[in-house]
């Protein structure tokens, strides 16, 4: 099923602010097997010039994927979420996320295209502090596999 | 440390077991069934349970950030999820081997091309990190 092209350029109102907690950072850092103490030990992080524990480089996915999911679940878009795989991911950083950041994430549908029977949707999630300081932008390509294609 | 084109970063091996997938699901909030349920994974045509692409991406970047000893120098990081990391139901799990090479240095920015393989299959495509250099 083709996706509704009218959705390109659409920006969605951000979800309520997300408060980055130390324990969530530690959990995530452990889950991606990080060992640098800058992710675990506040004193180490401060000694290295950070305000608090540093979030792992891919931590922003926690915010951006949740926000993007709300968008792609919009029934008018026409995306069959059961066939969706994460095709591509890119982060562009202004600075690392640190514990204590209060972040808002606004999602825009950057592009929609079809290739080889698959629909590809690029979302851009701009993550900034509540004061408006840009922190990181997360670009995700979601691929909805065509129904006639078993090995994509 | 001088960062020049062609410089090889120390490579690392990360082991991913089923328990690690459960841990990542909880930490990331990504509870997609194909990452923990073999029956569903096979139903949708996968050989077995597969790791979250974002888990592999999250592991791999340490080759860059640990080497720099400074995550704030990371300007961008991106990859394509080309092939899944298949994680068997045993205590060995799957090994992901990650290496990196400085592919260019210009205007205060170095690009690092990362290579991540599992059983000799490339699992991340076009994995690239841009870092600030002096």
Which residue of chain B is at minimal alpha-carbon distance from A95?
Answer: B72
| Beta-carbon separation of B59 and A32 below 8 A | yes
- pTM: predicted TM-score of the whole model, two decimal places: 0.94
The chain B residue lying nearest A143, using CA atoms, is: B81
Structure tokens at B99: 């290496």
- For residue B132 the two structure tokens come to 């600030």
Residues in chain B: 134
**Mean pLDDT, chain B, integer:** 96
Residue B80 token pair? 């394509």
- Residue A71 is predicted with a pLDDT of 79
B55 touching chain A per CB within 8 A: yes
A93/B29 touch (CB, cutoff 8 Å), yes or no: no
Q: Cβ contacts (< 8 Å) between A32 and chain B: which residues?
A: 24, 27, 55, 58-59, 62
Nearest to A91 by CA among A113, A123, A132: A123
Yes or no, beta carbons of B72 and A27 under 8 Å apart: no
DSSP SS3 for A7: helix
Please, which pLDDT band fits residue B113 given cuts at 50, 70 and 90? Answer: very high
Per-residue confidence (pLDDT) for residue B116, from 0 to 100: 98
| pLDDT value, residue B58 | 98
Task: Count the Cβ atoms, other than its own, within 10 Å of residue A136.
Answer: 26
pLDDT at A150: 44
Beta strands in B29-93 (DSSP E): 74-81
Length, in residues, of chain A: 152
Task: Determine the Cα–Cα distance for residues A73 and A79; give it in Å rounded to an integer.
Answer: 7
Q: State the pLDDT at residue A151.
A: 44
Contact B26 A90 (CB under 8 A): no
B28, B65, B79: residue with CB nearest A31: B28
Residue A7's nearest CA partner among A142, A132, A138, A137 is A142
Residue at token pair 């870092």: B131
| Beta strand residue intervals within chain A, DSSP E | 18-19, 84-93, 102-115, 118-129, 134-144
CB contact under 8 A, A57 and B58: yes
Q: What is the residue-level pLDDT of chain A in tens, covering all 152 positions? A: 578 888 898 888 888 999 999 999 999 999 999 999 999 999 999 999 999 999 999 999 999 988 888 777 888 888 877 778 889 999 999 999 999 999 999 999 999 988 888 889 999 999 999 999 999 999 999 988 776 544 43
More confident site: B92 or A13: B92
CB contacts of A30 in chain B (<8 Å) are 23, 27
Q: Is B32 on the interface with A (CB under 8 A)?
A: no
Cβ of B72 and A150 within 8 Å? no
Element (H, E) at B55: helix B53-60
């Amino acid at each position: 099923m083709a996706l509704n092209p009218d959705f390109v350029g659409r920006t969605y109102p951000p979800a309520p602010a997300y408060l980055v907690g130390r324990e969530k950072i530690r959990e995530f850092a452990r889950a991606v097997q990080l060992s640098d103490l800058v992710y675990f030990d506040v004193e180490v992080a401060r000694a290295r010039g950070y305000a608090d524990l540093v979030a792992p480089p891919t931590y922003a996915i926690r915010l951006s994927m949740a926000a993007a999911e709300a968008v792609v679940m919009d029934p008018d878009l026409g995306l069959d979420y059961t066939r969706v795989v994460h095709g591509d991911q890119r982060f562009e950083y202004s600075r690392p996320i640190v514990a204590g950041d209060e972040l808002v994430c606004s999602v825009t549908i950057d592009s929609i295209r079809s290739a080889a029977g698959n629909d590809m949707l690029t979302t851009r999630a701009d993550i900034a502090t509540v004061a408006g300081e840009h922190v990181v932008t997360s670009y995700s390509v979601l691929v909805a596999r065509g129904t006639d294609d078993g090995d994509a | 440390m001088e960062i020049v084109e062609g410089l090889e970063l120390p490579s690392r091996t990360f082991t991913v077991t089923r328990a690690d997938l459960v841990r990542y699901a909880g930490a990331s909030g990504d509870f997609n069934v194909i990452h923990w349920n073999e029956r569903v994974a096979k139903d949708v045509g996968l050989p077995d349970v597969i790791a979250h692409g974002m888990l592999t991406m999250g592991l791999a970047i340490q080759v860059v950030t640990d080497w720099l000893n400074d995550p704030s120098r990371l300007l961008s990081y991106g990859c394509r999820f080309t092939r899944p990391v298949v994680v068997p139901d045993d205590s060995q799990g799957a090994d992901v081997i990650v290496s990196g090479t400085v592919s260019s240095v210009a205007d205060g920015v170095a690009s690092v091309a990362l290579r991540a393989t599992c059983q000799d299959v490339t699992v991340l495509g076009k994995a690239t990190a841009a870092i600030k250099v002096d």
